[in-house]
Structure 1
Amino acid sequence: MEWRTDGADWPNNQFSRFVRHRPHYWHVQQAGAGPVVLLLHGTGGSTHSWRDMIPLLARNYTVVALDLPGQGFTRMGARQRCGLDNMSTDIAGFMAGEGLSPAAIIGHSAGGAIALRMAGRMDPAPGAVVGINAALSNFEGAAGTLFPMMARMLSLNPFTASMFARFTATESNVKALIGSTGSELTPEGLALYRRLISDRHHVDATLTMMAQWSLEGLQADLPEICVPTLFVTGDKDQAVPPRVAESAVARMPRAEHVRFAALGHLAHEEAPEAVAMSITAFLRAQGVG
């Protein structure tokens, strides 16, 4: 993605800035005032997935949303640092370098795993963590078949990203891919994902992340994460079913779970007001804001 061409109409672009903090060149959006809340998107997403949540949360918080390495508008500076542990370390370093200490971390899908990894290792720890359909196990359904396959292809074929971007980013294919997660997005939302998927650099970074992804360490550490945690799930999620959150709640000392019956994997994009209201209530109950 190129900011000079794609940034002109990118959601919340008025809040965007770019920061060089080793090893990456980060695209970050910052809005609002108050306690700092860090937003982390899922695999293959970008700050666009928070397009409606940022203005809502910015009423009470300093909201910081960033693009993961190589995805969206963040330029990847080190290919070997796209796994869970390395990204968690690099994001924590970026936040410290900017003088931003998150009072809460909110992550969607893989971003939820990153949020928990950061919470278990940061000093001081955030006051709360929220995982929206947090991907704490492998994807299921169509996504579970497609994503590992793409990661394997990446290791065998250096042209995979270009091929995928060229042949997959049709309107019908993007709609089907999003639909396979159990979510229904507006045409505008689908168009944003299509723009991302049609960019070979974004696809390459997404595949690189998936190829390096491992949840074993985080799964083993869940019982030791004492930060108050809220898991928000959609009952229609076909990628990360609610039972993943239920299992995590059973293993964590201070975790709870709220379910939305009519929403899928992209719950925060389908019903941003309802999800933001639930998150804000939880944060306030933890003394955040």
Structure 2
Amino acid sequence: MSDQPIAQPWSHRGHAVHAVVAAPAQPRGPAVLLVHGFGASTDHWRHNIPALAVSHEVHALDLLGFGRSAKPAELAYGGALWRDQLAAYVAERIGRPTVLVGNSLGGFAALAAGVALGPQAAGVVLLNAAGPFSDEQAPPRGWGAITRQTIGAALLRSPVLQRLLFENLRRPATIRRTLNQVYIDRTNVDDALVEAIRRPSLDPGAFGVFRTVFDIPRGQPLDELFAELACPLLLLWGIRDPWINAAGRRQAFQRHAPASSTTEVVLEAGHCPHDEVPELVNTALLNWLDDLGGSGGDAAGVARAVSAGEPPPAAGLAPVAASDRTAA
């Protein structure tokens, strides 16, 4: 194989899935599966696949409904579909223990798949992962909150409003403006990235997938998934993410993530640290993968800091200072 990605089409439930693979002649450690966020695709790992594939077997795929994968109208889009898609890919295409790496929506799918795969999941890496905790699923209280939610939900379910939103969101200028909001360093917000997001929105089924966004089931809460996770976990934070209140969300993850097997890396970046600061993410991920291989992937191992030469603390979640672009 090559350390440059090669397309290797696959199918799930009879629907075409775009997947790419890259690997050295003799890969070490577990395989790695990269999972994009909402509206993105395998293209969003453009700065990560070549670096990771120097030493590891790397796979990336487009979730059904996104990128170059099929967008059939009859599918129930949501966490269960994407969890099953990832688990099936690991079982059918990779066939050995795999580390699942996901950003945003892809993080939720990767975590759910990591739980479903059991011993076939060598580890899970979450980059600003989406998904609710149990206490965030409580219904609104008070007439004001209930009214606002009801009216807002009704408006968002209007086909006319949905079409207007869709047409606006897929305009190149809107895509670029949105990316500029969530990238702190905008160097990599380039024409290639904008086009990688715009192009799939032109597919015939794209609007149908977009409409399901307003009805996608929330899925199993993150705290329940963490309680069932049996493999090591790496939390990679773009701590200046304006979309998810990363600092507050990080505290929630610290309360629920399994402390004995969790590593945490905090970076001065926004919602997509793998594309904004890829060198730092690649270094942190490769260091963690090396340590994973050295410990045999023992989920009961003590959490370590991933950093450039810093010794790890004795235990617990570990915020680190990997460089001058990393925040503790």
| TM-score bucket of the superposed structures, by smaller chain | 0.7 to 0.9
Question: Alpha carbons of 1:171 and 1:86: their partners in 2 closer, same or farther (altered >3 Å)?
Answer: closer
Question: Alpha carbons of 1:276 and 1:13: their partners in 2 closer, same or farther (altered >3 Å)?
Answer: closer
Aligned counterpart in structure 1 of residue 288 of structure 2, from 282, 285, 288 = 282
More deviation, 206-215/231-240: 206-215
Aligned counterpart in structure 2 of residue 160 of structure 1, from 159, 162, 176 = 162
The separation in 2 between residues aligned to 1:123 and 1:220, in whole angstroms, is 15
Q: In proportion to residue count, which structure has more helix?
A: 1
2:119 is matched with 124
| 8 Å CA contact 1:29, 1:65 repeated in 2 | yes
Query: Once superposed, what is the RMSD of the aligned Cα atoms?
Result: 3.0
The answer as to 2:248 corresponding to 1:243 is: yes
The separation in 1 between residues aligned to 2:153 and 2:35, in whole angstroms, is 21
Sequence identity (%): 25
1:105 is matched with 100
Letter of the 1:269 counterpart: D
2:177 is matched with 176
The separation in 1 between residues aligned to 2:77 and 2:176, in whole angstroms, is 27
1:255 is matched with 262
2:193 is matched with 189
Report the Cα offset of residue 200 of structure 1.
5.5
More deviation, 201-210/44-53: 201-210
Structure having the higher Rg: 2
Gaps of 5+ in 2: 137-150, 297-328
Q: Report the 3-state secondary structure (helix = DSSP H, G, I; strand = E; otherwise coil) of the residue aligned with 1:123.
A: helix
Task: Tell me the alpha carbon deviations over residues 67-114 of structure 1, each in whole angstroms, 9 at most, x when there is no partner.
Answer: 011211111346443211232013212332224334211001111111
The separation in 1 between residues aligned to 2:206 and 2:52, in whole angstroms, is 27
Aligned counterpart in structure 2 of residue 72 of structure 1, from 67, 71, 83 = 67
Report the Cα offset of residue 225 of structure 1.
1.6
Question: Alpha carbons of 1:54 and 1:14: their partners in 2 closer, same or farther (altered >3 Å)?
Answer: closer
Gaps of 5+ in 1: 1-11, 140-148
The answer as to 2:140 corresponding to 1:133 is: no
Task: Tell me the alpha carbon deviations over residues 103-143 of structure 1, each in whole angstroms, 9 at most, x when there is no partner.
Answer: 2110011111111111112132412111111113499xxxx
The answer as to 2:85 corresponding to 1:84 is: no
2:314 is matched with none
More deviation, 240-249/57-66: 240-249
Aligned counterpart in structure 1 of residue 238 of structure 2, from 234, 237, 244 = 234
The separation in 2 between residues aligned to 1:77 and 1:118, in whole angstroms, is 22
- TM-score computed with the length of structure 2 as normaliser: 0.72
The separation in 1 between residues aligned to 2:65 and 2:208, in whole angstroms, is 8
